[in-house]
Amino acid sequence: MAIRSFLILFILFFFSSLNPILSLYEDQVGLVDWHQQYLGKVKQAVFHTHKTGRKRVVVSTEENVVASLDLGQGEIFWRHVLGSNDVIDGIDIALGKYVITLSSGGSILRAWNLPDGQMVWESSLRGPKHSKSLFLVRTNLKIEKDNIVIIFSNGRLNAVSCMDGEVLWEKDFEGESLKVQQVIQPPGSNLIYVVGFASSSLFEMYQINALNGELLKHESAAFSGGFLGEVSPVFSETVVALDSTGLILLTISFQNGKISFHQMPISNLVKDSFGPAKIIPSSVTGIFAIKMNAVTIVIRVKDESKLEVVEKTNHETSISDALSISEGQQAFALVQHASHEIHLRVKLAHNWDDNLLKESVKMDQHRGLVHKVYINNYIRTDKSYGFRALIVMEDHSLLLLQQGEIVWSREDGLASIIDVTTSELPVERDGVSVAKVEHNLFEWLKGHMLKLKGTLMLASPQDIAAIQSMRLKNSEKSKMTRDHNGFRKLLIVLTRAGKLFALHTGDGHIVWSHLLQSLQKSKVCQHPIGLNLYKWQVPHHHAMDENPSVLVIGKCGPSSDAPGALSFVDTYTGKELSSLSLVHSVAQVIPLPYTDSTEQCLHLLIDADKHAHLYPKTPEAISIFEREFSNIYWYSVEDDNGIIKGHALRGKCTGEVADEVCFDTRELWSIVFPSESEKIIATVTRKLNEVVHTQAKVIADQEVMYKYISRNLLFVATVALKGSVEIGSVTPEESWLVAYLIDTVTGRILHQVTHHGSQGPVHAVFSENWVVYHYFNLKAHRYEMSVIEIYDQSRADNKDVWKLVLGKHNLTSPISLYSRPDVITKSQSYFFTHSVKAIAVTSTTKGITSKQLLIGTIGDQVLALDKRFLDPRRTVNPTQAEKEEGIIPLTDSLPIIPQSYVTHALRVEGLRGIITVPAKLESTTLVFAHGVDLFFTQLAPSRTYDSLTDDFNYALLLITIVALLAAIFVTWTLSERKELQENWR
């Protein structure tokens, strides 16, 4: 008896030593997770390079980021991500210490402290009308030590003090049809010119006193030919414009308030001119550029009216803004692209023929063309001017060039990821990659002694630092081969620039990157858009020698009938295997669960005319497809009309398109939501590759419930039309939210629930037999999360083993369109504190491990929430049996435990999506969150029950074993001696 109780004590002891909360110690940061910060494509850059202090460049980007970068290394000093509808219109540096940003269509002006990024002031600008034209003009006007900035937005000219953001004066431009084109402030004067077009053929000029906003002069003159597009200022009182045909250049001068036009047909300047031109505005005095088709022409303006072509080139050309380097001298940069190199030239504005600087820089082809260039000067040791150029490339990367070399580069394309997939790494073979073994036994022992010291809390700060660096440097995790646990993979990401990156999950480094040919601007495809990534070839078993590849799907232009484009990319090498320009459009892509003999996955592309196209276009694929012809169903959602339709295949295409792989489709069913009362705001299905381990769930009293597991379940959320607007403008009475569960093969609505007084946005996740969704409850004015679980009632009688074998089964029950599936649903709702940006669920190889919800909160953090908190069987007072089963007592809101933030103290700024990928180890799942930042980590929702953790102390184990062996010998000899003595007695 004594020993039995001892054993129980032992077991209790053992379990109490396990930590119930799964979380991270601070020294474990960076062991399995990595975090990368990006900015997005740079829209504008302003340098700050004074003699004292650190040299910086302040940038604004298309991801609405304003950031200050170290000019030396390209690191981020500080960064702010503004709201998604708070688009940055302009930035500047004022007073040498503030960064001024104009955003939200010219209505919000903010100043940030340059050294640390603290917001200093914010002011709101309003105007009489909404207009697109926006200008932020830096002036050197000083009013009692204060600088002013001139801002034209929404039809009003504002002068704002840089010190505190106070509006000093404002002047409205009420003219109905007036379109302001430029706001010019001649340097060294107190005048501001506002020029624009009114009623398409009238040129208007306003002269304003910059100190008080007084209107000094207003002139207008008509030009019968009309105007086209933008104007480019060439001198302080002269602008250049194009007439409405785009064939004649107009030099408009408004010196002394007299407006005069001077016409110059482009054909007089350029012999072989073709088609209408477009002005590329530049701020360089006396120089502007026009573009005709692919030809760029740089024109110099001499005096008032003399135009002179100085350069005509077929190469892609970018011109920087003017940089005044000394009194009255302006420099600017020209960048031209030539196959493998870019040519950078810096010239003085008044002296075209000489170059201040001429450099050629080797450029990786996978960066594409130069889109923008910004220059900055420094004084060399020999007192001459040196220039550095910041260039923005087609793939959204940012590079700093100095002295003919790339000083640093940033892959800011990764801030705008469209789609993510994963790929396995190559299998480790002899000579592929050799693991670095520990140098010698002494090193190994020393390492473990350090670890032991660490666990015993005896380590000095230096030791701790040594341990930390030892753990982080672990070369294992960034090896380029597959590992036993499946932690090392390649993340293949497609960015908005049409570039494909492969990131290593170990440390996040870029393995390869490839600018896709199919997603580049070309004659046939003017506005290519990347859409999706799919696994094309996943070799295992018999096609082991092939490299895996991915399929990239894009289309030309935003319209729904734009032709599609496909690319196939090898994921080991990053080579584009082939690319296709499709004749049909791509409305929907259905990856089919069939593969051919080379492990290529079959994909069905549905076009806008509801034809289905099969890829790959091989006879083998067609034969596989025809075998499964009648088993293929899909659905389509038309958000605008509120219709969900189910489709199936009918037969080969008829009519003019005689294509082996084209198939006609037929509509099976449709669900039409009343358009006056309901609007579809969210549709979610299960992940295609999700694995469900068990179909049954044993509940407390030995009862069995069968999960209703179907790949064809669709969750749809609709809201009342009034509730589809933003929070804050509807009352609870006029808004409701309806959640549906729809079978996408039969079109039957299996479940429907209405949440009165609720509204969107709805974020939902579907897994196994449950769906969790997040919405806003207007009555309580809090966010809510609901769970719906769906169970198969037709198998509920199968309670013992015999009935399970012989009883009713999913497969044996007749499937008919007319028989209603016997299902029951359980649901429950809880309050949730935060707004949500994305929800995902952990996924593991076999689906045994319990699940966690990964919630991307509004604060750009990712919270892991155990699915047990969203269990409809939770009650306020669970019975003893239920408690043993692990049911948590019901609370009205979901707990937020800070330790369960998987992003710990980091933010994934601009969070857009969370992706989970199973590792080979059942307990572990890989999580990748992307937005402006990238974050990756490994999660073990039920702790790593199937492997030892990283901090497992092997040395302690060895010591214990040695101690035990020693003890055995000691006790053995002791007992021998005792026995001998007893025998002698």
Partner 1 sequence: MAAVTPLLLLLLLSSAPSFSSGSRNAYNINGRVKIPQGLGLGTKGYALPGRMSNVKVLLNGGQNITFLRPDGYFSFHNIPAGTHLIEVSAIGYFFSPVRVDVSARNPGKVQAALTENRKGLSELVLEPLREEQYYEIREPFSIMSLLKSPMGLMVGFMLAVAFLMPKLVENMDPEEMRRAQEEMRSQGVPSLSSLLPGGAMN
Q: Which of residues 712-731 bind partner 1 (CB under 8 A)?
A: 726-730
Query: Which is nearest to 141 in space by CA: 187, 74, 82?
Result: 187
> Cβ distance 588 to 636 under 8 Å?
yes
User: Could you tell me if residue 785 is left (phi over 0), alpha (psi between -120 and 50 degrees) or otherwise beta?
Assistant: beta
Question: Per-residue DSSP letters for 598-614?
Answer: T-BEEEEEE-TTSEEEE
Distance of alpha carbon 285 from alpha carbon 299, whole angstroms: 11
Give the per-residue contact string, 806-845, with partner 1 (x = CB under 8 A; - = no). Answer: ---------------------------xxx-x--------
802 belongs to the binding site for partner 1 (CB under 8 A): no
CB of 801 to partner 1, least distance (A): 31
DSSP type of residue 37: -
- Name the helix (H) or strand (E) containing 831: strand 823-832
* CA 757-760-765 angle, 5° bins: 120
Exactly one of 53, 72, 73, 118 binds partner 1 (CB under 8 A); that residue is 118
Range in contact with partner 1 (rule: CB under 8 A) among 236-244, 274-282, 779-787, 809-817 = 779-787
Specify the residue, 22 or 228, whose C-beta has the smaller distance to partner 1. 22
Instruction: Kindly tell me which of 171 and 837 has the beta carbon lying closer to partner 1.
Output: 837
Of 120-128, 330-338, 627-635, 692-700, which part binds partner 1 (CB under 8 A)? 120-128
Asked if residue 801 binds partner 1 (CB under 8 A), the reply is no
Pairing of strands 611-615, 662-672: antiparallel
Applying the rule CB under 8 A, the residues between 127 and 186 that interact with partner 1 are 127-130
- For 242-277, give the DSSP string: EETTSSEEEEEE-GGG--EEEEEEHHHH-TT--S--
Pick 23 or 813: Cβ nearer partner 1: 23
**What is the H or E stretch that residue 215 is in?**
strand 215-222
| Rounded distance between C-alpha atoms, residue 636 and residue 184, angstroms | 53
Q: Which one-letter amino acid corresponds to residue 179?
A: K
860 binds partner 1 (CB under 8 A): yes
Print burial letters for 483-515: b (CB count within 10 Å at least 16), e (below 16). bebbbbbbbbbbbbbbbbbbbbbbebeebbbbb
Interface pick for partner 1 out of 14, 802, 818, 984 (rule CB under 8 A): 14
Rank residues 214 and 726 by Cβ distance to partner 1 and give the closer one. 726
Residue 853 Cα distances to 375, 511, 927, 941, angstroms:
48, 30, 11, 10
Least distance in angstroms from the C-beta of 122 to partner 1: 7
Bridging pattern class, strands 135-143 and 119-124: unpaired
463 near partner 1, judged by CB under 8 A:
no
Q: Does 85 bind partner 1 (CB under 8 A)?
A: yes
Q: Which of 76, 87, 120, 699 binds partner 1 (CB under 8 A)?
A: 120
Cα 171-177-180 angle, rounded to 5 deg: 50
Residue 124 binds partner 1 (CB under 8 A): yes
Which span (125-133, 510-518, 608-616, 629-637) binds partner 1, by CB under 8 A?
125-133
From the CB of 23, what's the least distance to partner 1, in Å? Answer: 5
How far is the C-alpha of 333 from the C-alpha of 389, rounded, in Å? 8
Residue 118: CB minimum distance to partner 1, A? 4
- Secondary structure letter of residue 900 according to DSSP: G
**Of all helices (H) and strands (E), which one includes residue 428?**
none
Nearest to 516 by CA among 502, 531, 498: 498
CB of 895 to partner 1, least distance (A): 11
End-to-end CA distance of the chain: 34
Which listed residue (95, 432, 858, 962) binds partner 1 by CB under 8 A?
858
Query: Hey, which residues between 436 and 455 contact partner 1 (CB under 8 A)?
Result: 455
Closest approach, Cβ 84 to partner 1, in A, equals 7
When asked if residue 901 is in the footprint of partner 1 (CB under 8 A), the reply is yes
Answer for the pair 840, 867: CB distance below 8 angstroms, yes or no. Answer: no
Is residue 972 a contact point for partner 1 (CB under 8 A)? no
The Cα 536–Cα 616 span in angstroms is 9
* Cβ distance to partner 1 smaller for residue 131 or 422: 131
Among 10, 274, 629, 945, interactor with partner 1 by CB under 8 A? 10
Q: Which is nearer to partner 1, 20 or 431 (CB)?
A: 20
Shortest separation between residue 640's beta carbon and partner 1, angstroms: 22
Instruction: Tell me whether residue 23 or residue 532 sits nearer to partner 1 (CB atom).
Output: 23
Indicate which single residue of 427, 441, 458, 544 sits in contact with partner 1 (rule: CB under 8 A): 458
CA-wise closest residue to 767 among 834, 836, 867, 900? 867
Determine, following the binding rule CB under 8 A, whether residue 631 of this chain makes contact with partner 1: no
> Per-residue contact track with partner 1, 287 to 326, x per CB under 8 A?
----------------------------------------
- Which of 225, 226, 591, 761 touches partner 1 (CB under 8 A)? 761
Residue number with CB closer to partner 1 (14 or 984)? 14
Which of 6, 274, 629, 969 touches partner 1 by CB under 8 A? 6
Burial grade of 198 (CB within 10 A; 0-12, 13-18, 19 or more): middle
Shortest spacing between CB 442 and partner 1, in angstroms: 24
Q: Give the nearer residue to partner 1 in terms of CB position, either 116 or 545.
A: 116
Is the CB of residue 965 less than 8 Å from the CB of residue 950?
no
Among 117, 186, 229, 426, binds partner 1 (CB under 8 A): 117
Instruction: Give the DSSP letter of residue 726.
Output: -
x/- site string to partner 1, residues 673 to 712, per CB under 8 A? Answer: ----------------------------------------
DSSP H/E element including 548: none
- Taking the complex as a whole, the smallest distance from the CB of residue 177 to partner 1 amounts, in Å, to 17
Footprint of partner 1 on 924-963 (CB under 8 A): 956-957, 959-960, 963
Q: Which of 435, 441, 457, 876 binds partner 1 (CB under 8 A)?
A: 457
Nearest CA among 682, 588, 585, 690 for reference residue 635: 588
Q: How many CB atoms are located within 10 Å of the residue 686 CB? A: 21
For partner 1, the binding residues in 215-254 under the rule CB under 8 A are none
What is the footprint of partner 1 within residues 864-893 (CB under 8 A)?
Answer: 893
Q: Which of 356, 101, 135 is nearest to 233 (CA)?
A: 135
Question: Rounded to the nearest whole angstrom, what is the least distance from the CB of residue 911 to partner 1 in the complex?
Answer: 10
Choice between 126 and 809, CB closer to partner 1: 126
Shortest Å, Cβ 2 to partner 1:
6
Phi-psi group of 684: left, alpha or beta (phi > 0 → left; psi -120 to 50 → alpha; rest → beta): beta
18-47 residues in contact with partner 1 (CB under 8 A) are 19, 21, 23-27, 29
What is the residue type of 350?
H
Q: Which one of 366, 613, 907, 930 is in contact with partner 1 (CB under 8 A)?
A: 907
431 binds partner 1 (CB under 8 A): no
Residue 428 forms beta bridges with which residues?
Answer: none
The count of residues interacting with partner 1 (CB under 8 A) is 83
Chain residues 52-81 in contact with partner 1, contact rule CB under 8 A = 78, 80
Residues paired with 568 in a beta bridge: 551, 578
Is 882 strand, coil or helix? Answer: helix
Of 954, 953, 952, 929, the residue nearest 939 (C-alpha): 929
Q: Which is nearer to partner 1, 6 or 629 (CB)?
A: 6
Q: Identity (one letter) of the amino acid at 586?
A: V
Among 824, 971, 977, 979, binds partner 1 (CB under 8 A): 971
Among residues 904, 919, 929, 937, which is the contact residue for partner 1, using CB under 8 A?
A: 904
Considering just the CA atoms, what is the radius of gyration of the chain in Å?
34
